[in-house]
């Protein structure tokens, strides 16, 4: 046993203990037959990433669950790894090349991939180092990267399997295109934002007529790709036009007028231009009505040759302004209306995306979605909070095929090979030796790579060795819990469920715990652009990882967003200091104490001892119950209230008397044992939430073992929970609080000793007071107590009532009665004036009619506060009159 030195300094202990844990292999695990397992796979952070406050919350939740289960005796595996983040990582390296005056095309694909790997080796490990600072007990021996050879093999394996099962196909379809990244994006990679814009109205002349129709559009620059005009067949205004043709302005190309129920009679002019190559809805109608598909945009967002030579090469938004100007010159511009509409942006670079027809690879999602819906409906996979189930079903019920090809270089290259002799395509894990059609031996591989999410949807089983049937795969799969944000429910969670069922014929995890978003004090989502996101490493340097972890967990209700502030972290920091200081006190008073030599049966337990042991076991029961339900904030609150309020504020204060002034050795030893036992159990309870400080303190306690993280997590002993003990001690606590309130109300200093007179009409309360009056003397600072059922109220006494007991505190000689009377009268007069002012305001009809609701509510709260204050002041005055 050794004492804790000085003030609590997280810097001095955190790095030391993490290094010890990792070097001793405490995080590592191997399959063990007969031992229950608990598996969690980390949502792989981008290899380009750095720790942000959302990561802190996510990984603190995971680590708490893993440490809890490890201490419960489970064979726990928390699988670490990072994602290659195709678009984001490629952008990083392209920017680096741009600083050197180069492009990826300048150096070629092979050299560019080498540059990316080099960048990854130099900068890709930042976030894993930062996770160590947070205390994440990941099995680093099993760390994975989505571009590792083994994971690359799993990607090829499932691609080939899906292709052979006719679940993957190629086709010319409308996709979301990012001109900045130069690649297609899936629907889930497009973030929509409401923007102010205009609805421009344009005249389209009707062929062989002086008439024209008016078309409304938000994207006039795409009109070069118009191949039809659509009206609703039930629109009486335009029925006579169906089948006729109009002349496309500027281009002077004839295009037909068609009828389709898709057209909204109420929107715009009720006439819609059809641009099938640049709008998803127009694409469907174009197929239905056999319209021509004309692409007018280059991959970089500039206009191509189909926009005529006058516009070719122009940026799309520059072309928009020129189109509008040219229409005005030709007297074909009608007007504009301000609107707000949803505009899609690339989730990586925030560039406005362009719907664009191109040849891409797709996965058929319908058949996969059916089973993914079924396993949530039958409860095999539980989504928490349950409110997200409806969102999950809605997305899967309306799912579209997944565009999995990306026109970038960094990523898993699609395993499709084209014969250079005849063009035959062969899909296989490796390049074929000969063409099955012509026998040719030269092939070129598909240049597109797979969507980043295509490798991460295999994460729960690819990280365990699939497609090989490894011991890890057999033992740890399916995993148990997935912890992630609701924002990737579709990107990742639903797809992992589909892949697990398709490949393994088994769910990938049993529980999906979706936590909320971390926001600033104004409710804004943390973002680099707003500059409102703290650097977690700076917070750890200042307050410690334990304080950051505990504060985030304590303040995040299940499924609710958490509002971050510096003050919020100070709460966790103050708690850590409290635990440190009470531990120092307990240790300083354990001289001569040895748990191994103790005979517990000979100890003499008082009410306070039995109460704190009862509260400890109730807390253990509740904490485990909350953790089972993923209510980590409630579990944290139970531990906080027990250790700070019950143990520090009450039990330790009571135990001091026996530790300092015990009449017998047995009396002191009892206080030592209970203090030691409750602290040791409390540290174990707290360890999953605050791993560093609990390890440091636990190691100094007598009778402990190798490491707290491998000790048993506390289990409640029902026999130690006593309703009677709780009731009796609660009564004593309320009596003490009542006396303390009298001190506050009468302005009596805490150091002034008082006489306490107790008149009870309840025999049990009287016995409880008599047997535990030393607690009253100690914690209420009394020099004398009189307890009887026959005592009369003394003159000049302050009174309080607790249950069936009246408490009298004589004031004669304690305070200057005349001075106190005058002081109370002045206070009463002051608050009567304040109350009168507020009452008049609230009875004023003009004020009630004009003032905002929050102002009125504020005045009502003031009125209530003044009434309550006056009642207390008048009661105090009555007691001394």
Contact between residue 13 and residue 696 where contact means Cβ atoms under 8 Å apart = yes
The fraction of the chain above a pLDDT of 70, given in percent, is 98
What's residue 817's pLDDT?
A: 67
**pLDDT surpasses 90 at 465:** yes
Higher local confidence (pLDDT), 824 or 264? 264
- May I ask the CATH class of domain 818-880? mainly alpha
Global confidence as pTM: 0.85
Select, from the ranges 137-151, 189-203, 257-271, the one with the highest average predicted confidence (pLDDT).
137-151
Contact between residue 704 and residue 711 where contact means Cβ atoms under 8 Å apart = yes
What's residue 1's pLDDT?
A: 46
**Coil, strand or helix: which one is 357?**
strand
Lowest mean pLDDT among 78-92, 212-226, 395-409, 792-806: 792-806
Instruction: Report cis status (omega within 30 of 0) of the bond before 110.
Output: no
Q: What is the mean pLDDT of residues 131-159?
A: 97
The domain spans of the chain are 31-167+366-397+453-515, 191-347, 555-721, 725-815, 818-880
284: annotated binding-site residue? no
**pLDDT surpasses 90 at 88:** no
> Which 8-state DSSP code applies to residue 836?
H
Structure tokens that stand for 793 in this block: 């109220």
Structure tokens that stand for 478 in this block: 């399916």
On whether the 31-167+366-397+453-515 domain is CATH 3.40.50.620, my answer is yes
Banded pLDDT at 27 (limits 50, 70, 90): very high
Residue 405: which of 418, 397, 416, 420 has the closest Cα? Answer: 416
Task: Give the whole-angstrom CA distance, residue 632 versus residue 630.
Answer: 5
Full strand arrangement of the beta sheet holding 782-788: 782-788, 754-760, 805-810, 797-802
The fraction of the chain above a pLDDT of 90, given in percent, is 71
Residue 665: CA atoms inside 13 Å, Cβ hemisphere, count?
6
Q: Which CATH number fits domain 555-721: 3.30.460.80, 1.10.730.10, 1.10.3720.10, 3.20.20.100?
A: 1.10.730.10
- May I ask the CATH class of domain 725-815? alpha beta
Fold annotation for 191-347: Isoleucyl-tRNA Synthetase; domain 2 (3.90.740)
Task: Give the whole-angstrom CA distance, residue 23 versus residue 18.
Answer: 8
**Phi and psi of 841, rounded to 5°?**
-65, -40
> Which 8-state DSSP code applies to residue 642?
I
Question: In this structure, how many other beta carbons lie within 10 angstroms of the beta carbon of residue 794?
Answer: 15
What's residue 853's pLDDT?
A: 81
Contact between residue 137 and residue 325 where contact means Cβ atoms under 8 Å apart = no
Interval 721-752: pLDDT, tens = 999 999 999 999 999 999 999 998 888 888 89
Domains 31-167+366-397+453-515 and 725-815 share a fold: no
Question: Could you tell me whether strands 518-519 and 81-82 are parallel, antiparallel, or unpaired per DSSP bridges?
Answer: unpaired
What's residue 529's pLDDT?
A: 60
Banded pLDDT at 878 (limits 50, 70, 90): confident
What's residue 819's pLDDT?
A: 67
Interval 297-309: pLDDT, tens = 998 999 999 999 9
Interval 216-245: pLDDT, tens = 899 999 999 999 999 999 999 999 999 999
Q: What is the mean pLDDT of residues 111-130?
A: 92
Q: Distance of alpha carbon 277 from its chain centroid, rounded?
A: 39
Higher local confidence (pLDDT), 671 or 834? 671
């Amino acid at each position: 046993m050794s004492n804790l030195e000085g003030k609590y300094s997280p810097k001095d202990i955190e790095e030391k203990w993490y290094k010890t844990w990792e070097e001793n292999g405490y995080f590592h695990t191997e399959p063990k037959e007969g031992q229950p397992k608990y598996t969690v796979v980390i949502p792989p952070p981008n290899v380009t990433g750095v720790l942000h406050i959302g990561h802190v919350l996510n990984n603190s939740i995971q680590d708490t669950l893993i440490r809890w289960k490890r201490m419960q005796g489970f064979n726990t595996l928390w699988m670490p790894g990072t994602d290659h983040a195709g678009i984001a990582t490629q952008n990083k390296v392209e920017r680096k090349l741009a600083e050197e005056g180069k492009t990826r095309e300048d150096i070629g694909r092979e050299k560019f991939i080498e540059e990316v790997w080099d960048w990854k080796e130099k900068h890709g490990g930042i976030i894993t180092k930062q996770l160590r600072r947070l205390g994440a007990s990941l099995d680093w021996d099993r760390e994975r990267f989505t571009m590792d050879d083994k994971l690359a093999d799993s990607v090829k394996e499932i691609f080939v399997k899906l292709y052979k099962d006719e679940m993957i196909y190629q086709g010319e379809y409308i996709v979301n295109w990012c001109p900045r990244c130069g690649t297609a994006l899936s629907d889930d990679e497009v973030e929509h934002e409401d923007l102010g814009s205009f609805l421009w109205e344009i005249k389209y002349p009707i062929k062989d007529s002086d008439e024209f129709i008016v078309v409304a559009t938000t994207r006039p620059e795409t009109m070069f790709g118009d191949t039809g005009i659509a009206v609703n067949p039930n629109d009486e205004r335009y029925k006579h036009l169906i089948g006729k043709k109009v002349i496309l302005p500027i281009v002077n190309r004839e295009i037909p007028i068609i009828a389709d129920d898709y057209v909204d009679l109420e929107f715009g002019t009720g006439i819609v231009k059809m641009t099938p190559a640049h709008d998803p809805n127009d694409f469907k109608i174009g197929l239905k009505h056999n319209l021509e598909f004309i692409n007018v945009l280059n991959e970089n967002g500039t206009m191509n040759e189909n926009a005529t030579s006058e516009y070719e090469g122009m940026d799309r938004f520059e072309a928009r302004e020129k189109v509008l100007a040219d229409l005005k010159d030709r007297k074909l511009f009608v007007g504009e209306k301000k609107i707000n509409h949803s505009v899609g942006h690339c989730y990586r670079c925030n560039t406005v995306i362009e719907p664009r027809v191109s040849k891409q690879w797709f996965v058929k999602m319908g058949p996969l979605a059916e089973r993914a819906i079924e396993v949530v409906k039958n409860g095999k996979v539980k989504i928490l909070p349950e409110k997200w189930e409806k969102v999950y079903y809605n997305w899967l019920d309306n799912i579209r095929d997944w565009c999995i090809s990306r026109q970038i270089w960094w990523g898993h290259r699609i395993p499709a090979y084209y014969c250079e002799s005849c063009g035959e395509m062969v899909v296989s894990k490796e390049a074929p030796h000969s063409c099955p059609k012509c026998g040719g031996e030269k092939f070129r591989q598909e240049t597109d790579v797979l969507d980043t999410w295509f490798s991460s949807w295999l994460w729960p089983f690819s990280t365990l060795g699939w497609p090989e049937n490894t011991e890890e795969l057999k033992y740890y799969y399916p995993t148990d819990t997935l912890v992630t944000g609701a924002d990737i429910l579709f990107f990742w969670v639903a797809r992992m469920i589909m892949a697990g069922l398709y490949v393994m014929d088994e769910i990938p995890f049993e529980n999906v715990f979706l936590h909320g978003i971390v926001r600033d004090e104004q409710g804004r989502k943390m973002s680099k652009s707003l500059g409102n996101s703290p650097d977690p490493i700076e917070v750890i340097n200042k307050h410690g990882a334990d304080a950051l972890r505990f504060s985030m967990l304590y303040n995040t209700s299940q499924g609710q967003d958490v509002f971050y502030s510096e003050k919020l972290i100070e709460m966790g920091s103050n708690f850590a200091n409290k635990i440190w200081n009470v531990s120092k006190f307990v240790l300083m008073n354990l001289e001569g104490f040895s748990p191994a030599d103790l005979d517990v049966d000979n100890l003499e337990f008082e009410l306070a001892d039995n109460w704190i042991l009862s509260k400890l076991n109730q807390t253990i029961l509740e904490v485990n119950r909350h953790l089972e339900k993923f209510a980590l904030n409630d579990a944290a609150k139970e531990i906080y209230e027990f250790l700070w309020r019950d143990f520090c504020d009450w039990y330790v204060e009571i135990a001091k008397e026996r530790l300092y002034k015990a009449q017998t050795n047995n009396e002191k030893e009892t206080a030592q044992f209970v203090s030691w036992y409750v602290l040791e159990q409390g540290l174990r309870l707290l360890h999953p939430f605050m791993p560093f400080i609990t390890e440091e303190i636990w190691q100094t306690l007598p009778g402990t073992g190798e490491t707290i993280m491998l000790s048993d997590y506390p289990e409640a002993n029902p026999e130690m929970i006593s309703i009677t003990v709780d009731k009796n001690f609660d009564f004593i606590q309320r009596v003490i609080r009542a006396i303390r309130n009298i001190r506050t109300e009468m302005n009596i200093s805490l150091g002034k000793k008082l006489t306490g007179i107790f008149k009870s009409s309840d025999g049990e309360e009287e016995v409880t007071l008599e047997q535990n009056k030393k607690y009253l003397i100690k914690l209420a600072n009394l020099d004398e107590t009189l307890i009887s059922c026959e005592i009369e109220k003394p003159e000049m006494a302050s009174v309080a009532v607790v249950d069936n007991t009246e408490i009298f505190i004589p004031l004669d000689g304690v305070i200057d009665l005349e001075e106190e009377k005058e002081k109370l009268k002045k206070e009463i007069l002051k608050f009567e004036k304040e109350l009168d002012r507020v009452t008049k305001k609230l009875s004023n009809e003009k004020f009630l009619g004009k003032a905002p609701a929050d102002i009125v509510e504020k005045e009502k709260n003031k009125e209530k506060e003044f009434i309550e204050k006056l009642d207390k002041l008048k009661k105090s005055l009555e007691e001394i009159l």
